Amino acid sequence: MPVTERLPTTLGPYRLADRLGAGGMGVVHLAWDPAGRLVAVKVLHAVGTAAPGDPEAANARRRLAREVETMRRVRSPYVAEIIDADLTGDFPYIVTRFVPGLTLDAMVRGRGPLSGEGLCRLGYGMAEALAAIHAAGVVHRDLKPGNVMLTDDRPVVIDFGIAQAGDATRLTQTGMVMGTPGYLAPEVIEGQPSSPASDVHSWGATMAYAATGRPPYGGGSYEGVFFRIVSGRADLSGVPAPLMPLLSAALAKDPAARPSAGQLSAAIRTLDTSAPAMAHPPLAAPYQAAAAPAPPERARHSPAPRGPAAAGALPGTARRDPQTKAGLAIMVCAVALTAVLPAAGLVASLALITVLRAADRSNAALAARRSARGPRPGDLPLVLVTAPLAVVRALIAEALTAPAALLAGAAAFGITMAVTHSFAMPRAGAYAAAAVVAWYGLGPSSAKARRQLNRMAAAFARSRATAAVTGLAAWALAAAAVLFALSQAPYYWPATAPHLPALHGLVSTAGTWLLRHAYP
């Protein structure tokens, strides 16, 4: 049994969750970091069972160490950056940013080829990723559809499992092919070292797959695929005509004839992919750098175009909804409510925060499963079945921070007593309860509850206009609630009944504020 199937539940400070996939070097797991954020943890294959001094294990450890060093050099929004690593334990691992979404391979297999602006954005993002990688003196060596995630409005290149710095010593054995056969460059197949030009060839093959839905060098045995690659027999039928010169140049047999990643990203920004595909494209087309004028230098490092171009975002990726910050406003309302109704408000607010934290954890786990495997009919029932466990975990997390919350409440109590210069126990107690709610709803590690509220508000904020209205309404209610809480004496319901005219005053104050500011 592979050692990675006997992993502990935690590695260092990271709690392992679902297995996302496996590659040549190891197995990738979804995990939670100490702050509760999702990360990807890659564990090296078969190190725990290797005998001391095993050269294969030592070789694997050196390759992993080089991978960490490689990734530390690369910084780009189009590349999944490294977060942490531990190479000394029985299970050496590295931690990278978790990229939600589907792989390009899964997207094309499930929904068909990309087209139009989405195809351009994919090509631009992958070229920008390679440009950043190559600028760090690194060669990726395994760019393929399975190593490109489609998330939000951009592609993100992942898995530097066999990336290699240009000046590093080769660690592969003689005759061992590292990379995915259908996306290797011909010179790599012939035994030459990988280079940035090799990655450009992989870019061209990946783009051809995205545009047509099939590998450009076909399938079958490795020998047949390798023969077609070395012979330069790429099938580009179905590729949009404007992309043809770039893909033909990227797939050139001679590495010196291929454009650089920077030239690709500059040229693809100017393309119009609305032209029809070519039924029988030429097998070769020389790359003319002057055919596509390069943008100004400052645009070279800018993100892909937005505005009208955003309408052609990568299909199947979740566009980021307009943000309203409604979660923060609603938490302010909860704090104000607790200051007016200390007993009932404290219980209701903590119950709400617990449910929101559990829902956020369930949503994150569901998104991770769908990112790794795609949507499945059993996803929602699974979330419902595991919901009680999510609630228990949320309660445990809150219990662990209870001393800090109680300290915040005690501080609020003491400050209120000192400011009023009297033993105003009811108001001091109310502010203490409000401080406890503020700790859980606004303090450290409170992002989960607010994030879930923001998701709920996003259902009403599908455009900037509705987002503005939703946010304004939430903050109007929060401002009115704070003003009301400061002007009213606390009511310890159910021990004492609240003053109904005071509750009417809250509604009246909120309505007046909203009318004055939202509709001047």
pTM passes above 0.75: no
Torsion, Cα 163 226 244 299, to 10 degrees, reads 10
Active site residue 152: no
Q: Where are the domains of the chain?
A: 1-98, 100-320, 326-394+447-518
Structure confidence at residue 299 (pLDDT): 35
| pLDDT reported for residue 253 | 93
pLDDT score for 424: 65
- The pLDDT, as a whole number, for residue 291 is 35
Could you please state the CATH topology (level 3) that the domain comprising 100-320 is classified under: Transferase(Phosphotransferase); domain 1 (1.10.510)
Helix (H) or strand (E) holding 115: none
214 neighbors 244 (Cβ within 8 angstroms): no
Query: Hey, how many other C-beta atoms are within 10 angstroms of the C-beta on 89?
Result: 11
Residue for token digits 């769908």? 370
Predicted local confidence at residue 47, as pLDDT: 47
Three-point CA angle 18, 56, 73, nearest 5°: 65
* β-sheet bridge partners, residue 226: none
The H helix count followed by the E strand count for the chain is 16, 11
For the domain made up of 1-98, give the CATH fold: Phosphorylase Kinase; domain 1 (3.30.200)
Residue among 69, 61, 70 at smallest CA distance from 92: 61
In whole angstroms, what separates CA 72 from the centre of its chain? 18
Between CA 206 and CA 209 the distance in angstroms is: 5
Q: Do 100-320 and 1-98 fall under one CATH topology?
A: no
Q: What is the pLDDT along the chain (520 residues), one digit of tens a residue?
A: 344 456 778 888 999 988 887 766 678 888 988 888 888 888 876 544 445 556 666 776 676 677 677 777 788 899 988 888 887 777 888 888 888 888 999 999 989 999 888 899 999 999 999 999 898 888 888 899 999 999 877 899 987 644 444 434 333 433 344 456 889 999 999 989 889 999 999 999 999 999 999 999 998 888 899 999 999 999 999 999 999 999 999 999 999 999 999 999 999 988 765 555 544 333 333 343 333 333 333 333 334 433 333 333 444 333 444 455 788 888 999 999 898 888 888 999 999 999 888 887 777 666 555 544 444 555 556 666 777 888 888 888 888 889 988 998 899 888 888 887 655 678 888 889 999 999 998 888 788 788 888 877 776 665 667 777 888 888 888 899 889 888 888 888 766 655 545 545 555 555 565 555 554 4
Q: Is 68 exposed, middle or buried (0-12, 13-18, 19+ CB in 10 A)?
A: middle
d(CA 30, CA 14): 10
Structure tokens at 87: 């190479």
Q: What backbone phi and psi angles, to 5 degrees, belong to 138?
A: -120, 150
Task: Name the catalytic one among 33, 54, 84, 142.
Answer: 142
